Amino acid sequence: MKINKILNNTKGDRWIWLIVILLSVISLLAVYSAIGSLAYKRGVGAESILMKHVAMMVAGLALMYICHKLDYNWYKGISKILMVITIPLLLYTLVFGSHVNEASRWIAIPGTGLSFQTSDLAKLALITYLARTLSRKQENIKNVKESFIPIMGAVCVVFILIAWANLSTALMLFGVSILLLIMGRISVKQIAITCLAGAFLLTAVVMLGPRRHVYMTRIHTFMHPEATNPDKSFQADHAKIAIATGGIFGKGPGQSSEINYLPEAYSDEIYAIIVEEYGLVGGFILIGIYLFLLYRCVKIATKAPKAFGTLLAAGLSFSLTIQAFANMAVAVGLGPVTGVPLPFVSMGGTSILFTSVAFGIILSVSRDNDEPKKVVVGEIKEVAMA
């Protein structure tokens, strides 16, 4: 009865819910295939790791359900609070966060044994803040002091704080921000100024940042693979091998051989494992799912009666799909190696939760679009007289 009650109270775009279910099933199959080497290294059974992943996905679905039941205008109210929390957290992460591969991206959640990337929170915070600010400032959107400086300041501050340790995520978030500025009717001149500021900050990070040699090595490896030390191109090479040996229909579930070689096969390189086991057919199906997700989200955004709903749904959907295609592009050799997971498919801890929140907010906008609007008597009279 409780399950039926929950299903009856599930609102929003049904296709989005179906996409979430499909991605969940794909994730369980792919992660279970890819965690064999991880289980061996940890000295535990693969089933125990899978159960933790299942628990995180169930928690994500529950969080998605809760978020979709909230009026999406509620997120407008907390957008400033999120920004106030996010910027200090990003600074704290850079100074006191856990260092992995010379990057400080994670902070521990006290008493849980879990850690999370503050950049995941920053994506939600910046997108909701931009959607709120752009929708509220439409009447004086050309005003530099009241509109442009606060918007550009938020984008640049978040960009530099994330880019210092996670350049790929920062670049994707910056791209989403520019798309929102275009949708929010910011002038071409002001957008150009924002892009120039972003280019300056990017140059500073690449040339002066603590991971500058990592970035330069990855770019050189991508541009000149034939002249690169095999140790440096190990991950990219084995991802290509996995895809090349998958063929049209793949080797079959659980038959991947590259899981024994690919680092982060269950996370950053999970798309290569999917193609190896399910072939080009499986790979194209997954691409189609993300494209269909973007299509449904764009429909939700265009149907939203208020600018905030349109910008919020568009920004979150752009963020999810850009991240998905960035991950898949790296796997097939169309970009340098990054640490970007495949949304709702890669094994992850709190990243699944933040992705679930993003889905929940999009569904909240969709739910509001579908609900019948109350029309007051005065409005009916006006329509009748017209």
Question: In a structure prediction context, what are the per-residue pLDDT tens digits for the chain, which is 386 residues long?
Answer: 555 666 566 778 899 999 999 999 999 999 998 888 788 778 888 888 899 999 999 999 999 999 999 999 999 989 989 999 999 999 988 888 776 655 667 787 766 666 778 889 999 999 999 999 998 877 777 777 777 888 889 999 999 999 888 888 999 999 999 999 999 888 889 899 999 999 999 999 888 887 788 888 888 788 877 666 666 677 888 888 999 998 899 999 888 888 888 888 888 889 999 999 999 999 999 999 999 999 999 999 999 988 999 999 999 999 999 999 999 999 888 888 887 889 999 987 778 999 999 999 999 999 888 776 544 434 433 333 43
Tell whether 114 and 166 lie within a shared domain.
yes
Tell whether 282 and 359 lie within a shared domain.
yes
Task: Tell me, yes or no, whether 377 lies in a domain.
Answer: no
* Residue 218: alpha-carbon gap to chain centroid: 22
- State the burial class of residue 143 (Cβ atoms within 10 Å of its Cβ: 0-12, 13-18, 19+): exposed
Residue 44 has a pLDDT of 83
Task: Tell me, yes or no, whether 115 lies in a domain.
Answer: yes
DSSP-derived letter for residue 253 is T
Residue 226 has a pLDDT of 66
Tell whether 341 and 357 lie within a shared domain.
yes
Task: Tell me, yes or no, whether 215 lies in a domain.
Answer: no
| Contact residues for 168 (Cβ-Cβ < 8 A; gap 6+) | 326, 338, 339, 340
Residue 373 has a pLDDT of 57
pTM of the complete model: 0.89
Q: Where are the alpha helices (DSSP H) in the chain?
A: 2-8, 14-34, 36-42, 46-69, 73-96, 118-136, 149-163, 167-183, 188-208, 212-223, 234-246, 270-303, 307-331, 350-370, 377-385
Tell whether 177 and 121 lie within a shared domain.
yes
- CA distance linking residue 146 with residue 31, whole number of Å: 48
Residue 100 has a pLDDT of 61
Task: Tell me, yes or no, whether 378 lies in a domain.
Answer: no
- CA distance linking residue 302 with residue 326, whole number of Å: 25
Q: Which residues pair with 98 in a beta bridge?
A: 106
Residue 25 has a pLDDT of 94
Kindly state the tokens that stand for 16: 């989005």
Tell whether 202 and 86 lie within a shared domain.
yes
* Residue 258: alpha-carbon gap to chain centroid: 26
Range of the domain at 164: 73-210
182: number of Cβ within 10 Å: 11
- State the burial class of residue 381 (Cβ atoms within 10 Å of its Cβ: 0-12, 13-18, 19+): exposed
Tell whether 83 and 49 lie within a shared domain.
no
Tell whether 27 and 57 lie within a shared domain.
yes
Task: Tell me, yes or no, whether 135 lies in a domain.
Answer: yes
Task: Tell me, yes or no, whether 143 lies in a domain.
Answer: yes
Tell whether 149 and 52 lie within a shared domain.
no
- CA distance linking residue 51 with residue 58, whole number of Å: 10
Residue 165 near residue 211, CB atoms below 8 Å:
yes
Task: Tell me, yes or no, whether 227 lies in a domain.
Answer: no
Domain total in the chain:
2
Tell whether 290 and 161 lie within a shared domain.
no
Tell whether 286 and 322 lie within a shared domain.
yes
Residue 66 has a pLDDT of 94
| Contact residues for 44 (Cβ-Cβ < 8 A; gap 6+) | none
Residue 4 has a pLDDT of 61
Tell whether 276 and 311 lie within a shared domain.
yes
